[in-house]
Amino acid sequence: MNIRALIAAVSLLSLAGFAGLAQADDLQPTPYRYGMPLEIKKVLSLTEPSTPYCEVVTAQMVYIDKAGQTRDISYNKLSQACTSAD
């Protein structure tokens, strides 16, 4: 009886962990504000929407801060089309 209860508890905790991971992916990045301290230790990814036009886009940066926490911010920048040579 105790083994069945233990297996059930472990199964429920595993499912709760997967649900938590799924919710973490749905979180929106923190919008960058001028002067916001970032304390970047390592940049993991830089992404932006692809556009053929030179325009302002919202880019995203995922990084590890000096405390070892993964952070996700969004910021405005000129698109890559602005730097491409025609």
User: Using one digit for the tens of pLDDT, what is the confidence trace for 30-75?
Assistant: 999 999 999 999 999 999 999 999 999 999 999 999 999 999 999 9
CATH code for residues 2-82: 2.30.140.50
Domain ranges of the chain: 2-82
Residue 85: pLDDT over 80:
no
pTM, full prediction: 0.63
Whole-angstrom distance, CA of residue 9 vs CA of residue 12: 5
Per the DSSP assignment, residues forming a β-bridge with 72 are: 62
**Mean pLDDT, residues 14-31:** 64
Confidence of residue 27 (pLDDT cuts 50, 70, 90): confident
Confidence of residue 3 (pLDDT cuts 50, 70, 90): confident
Whole-angstrom distance, CA of residue 63 vs CA of residue 40: 7
